[in-house]
Amino acid sequence: MAGPSLNLFRPKPHTEQRPTPQGKTGIAQQLFRYLLRHKIKQFKGIPGPTPSFPTGNTQDLSKGKPIWEVFADYAQQYGGLSLFWLLGRPCLVLNDPDLIAEVLMESTAGQTETKTTSKCPFHNFRFYKNLPRKALRPIMTDTSTFIAPVADQRWQELHQNHPFALDYFDQWLDTQFPTLRAFMQTRIAKLAAESATFEAFEMVQKLTFDGFSLAMVGKVFPDQVFAQFNTLCQSSTQRMNRSTIANGLIPNRPWDPRFHQVSRQWFKYFDQAVQQAQLQPTGESLMAWVMRKGGSNHTPDEFRNIFAGVYPGGAISAPSAITSTLHLLYQHPEVLASLRDALKDLFAAPLTLERLENCTLLDQVLREAMRLRPPVPFFMRNVNPDQPTKLGGHTIPANTSIFINNWYLHRSDHWSCPEAFKPERWDPETCRQNDWGSGYFFPYGRGKRTCMGQALAHCFMKLTLAVMVSECEVTFGDQPHDREFFFGVAVPRQLKVSLAPL
């Protein structure tokens, strides 16, 4: 059952922007225009909604519509490049694949050795990652490649030495797979035997968090650690919303003592895990492998931070995708039946990672779910703090915030029947033309800063889906699939689900 066709999603190249309508303006709009006239002048020619004093267009984001849908509306009205105002801060929204590529695929190669007096360490880069970097601290630290502002030398060192980038990572994942498979099968059978109704995302998130911990550090943490993780993410989400909406008027500094106490505890668990792995690097966890095999030149503190900092991907984005996929399968019983058939063959012999990866229909289902409901539907960049840049034929002032929206392009009419769930659309030619990280399909981002956890995420998501679908009847309530912004991820909330053994 696909949703009603809204026929909203025709991409408009940024070269075909519509001008902002110049209708009657109220006093609040005139006041905004007068007070911010110097800034407004710098964005001449870029269309967008009319801002009013004192909030700019902030009210657009507080009407109950998810922010990525508001950005899609902007695409409809103003084209692939539009301007809106968070209070007095100008922000660009990119819904155009070429402009997005220009920002995300930035390379310093070919750029002039900038003759700048800037002390800014990334003066060579046109764009950098700002928000939500600050808000993610202190659950993520400077040793996380995720929050490094640019792909500079420091980032390259972190990236190359990251456990996910080591040359034995694939071999580790293969070896780890039977442990994960056994964990998923036991845990899912137990959940099904409970005959209970769960909040879908919470149930999947706990399952993924525990499986992820097993893979990363070789043990399942006590339940309180999971609760603490969510407290940290909740608190970071509030900081992110505050910093986005209030744009620094409310200083984004730590005033929540509980948050810091929990954060200290969180890192302590990983300190203990590192110490234990140093003393006894046994077992098949990634941490133990890196201790045994080496190749990562991080200090113990950096090592701890890296492991503590990869959880948001593993325990928020991946469960968001799994929950959405299960929900779509429930809404499309014919696809579910075909998938069950395909999985029967898969489970006829011992399941290996290679065989799981070769299950075409599972791959198609996941791609289609991540196209329609990308876990990370938008992300952010900023123009270099000291240097304006050219984008889409406009000169964009230094430090302008940029919102990059994949949700819109995933549903644009680049795709036939864009809003329909059609896993079969992913034939080999479509996959080739719309590879992960291409113009109209980039759920993991694009370019150098693309997701480092993609291989692990696929293994996790496919395994969880394969076991759930082949061993359980998964029944959802009739709640709508609403998604809440949580730690930078669109998370399905309030969906009720029950599992029963098949």
* Sole binder of ligand HEM in the list 48, 51, 79, 445 (CB under 6 A): 445
If one asks whether residue 444 binds ligand HEM (CB under 6 A), the answer comes out as yes
* Sole binder of ligand HEM in the list 55, 145, 364, 498 (CB under 6 A): 145
If one asks whether residue 457 binds ligand HEM (CB under 6 A), the answer comes out as yes
Question: Tokens at residue 279, please?
Answer: 């003393």
Cα 396 to chain centroid distance, Å, stands at: 26
Question: What does 306-343 look like in DSSP terms, one character per residue?
Answer: HHHHSHHIIIIIHHHHHHHHHHHHHH-HHHHHHHHHHH
User: Could you give the CA distance from residue 235 to residue 144 in angstroms, rounded to a whole number?
Assistant: 19
Closest C-alpha to 362, from 382, 334, 386, 338: 338
Asked if 208 and 460 count as a contact pair (C-beta separation under 8 A), the reply is: yes
Which neighbouring-strand residues pair with 498? 197, 475
If one asks whether residue 318 binds ligand HEM (CB under 6 A), the answer comes out as yes
User: Could you give the CA distance from residue 106 to residue 390 in angstroms, rounded to a whole number?
Assistant: 13
State the minimum distance, in angstroms, from the CB of residue 443 to ligand HEM: 5
If one asks whether residue 453 binds ligand HEM (CB under 6 A), the answer comes out as yes
Does 54 sit behind a cis peptide bond, omega within 30 degrees of 0 on the bond before it?
A: yes
Using CB under 6 A, which residues numbered 343 to 402 contact ligand HEM?
375-376, 379
| Contact window for ligand HEM (CB under 6 A) among 1-9, 173-181, 226-234, 317-325 | 317-325
Q: Which is nearer to ligand HEM, 17 or 208 (CB)?
A: 208
Using CB under 6 A, which residues numbered 153 to 182 contact ligand HEM?
159
Asked if 230 and 206 count as a contact pair (C-beta separation under 8 A), the reply is: no
The residue type of 380 is M
* Sole binder of ligand HEM in the list 449, 462, 481, 483 (CB under 6 A): 449
If one asks whether residue 290 binds ligand HEM (CB under 6 A), the answer comes out as no
User: Could you give the CA distance from residue 463 to residue 357 in angstroms, rounded to a whole number?
Assistant: 9
State the minimum distance, in angstroms, from the CB of residue 455 to ligand HEM: 9
* Sole binder of ligand HEM in the list 11, 90, 132, 313 (CB under 6 A): 313
State the minimum distance, in angstroms, from the CB of residue 256 to ligand HEM: 25
Q: Which is nearer to ligand HEM, 394 or 449 (CB)?
A: 449
User: Could you give the CA distance from residue 15 to residue 97 in angstroms, rounded to a whole number?
Assistant: 12
Instruction: Point out which residues bind ligand HEM (CB under 6 A).
Output: 129, 145-146, 159, 310, 313-314, 317-318, 321, 375-376, 379, 443-445, 449, 451-453, 456-457
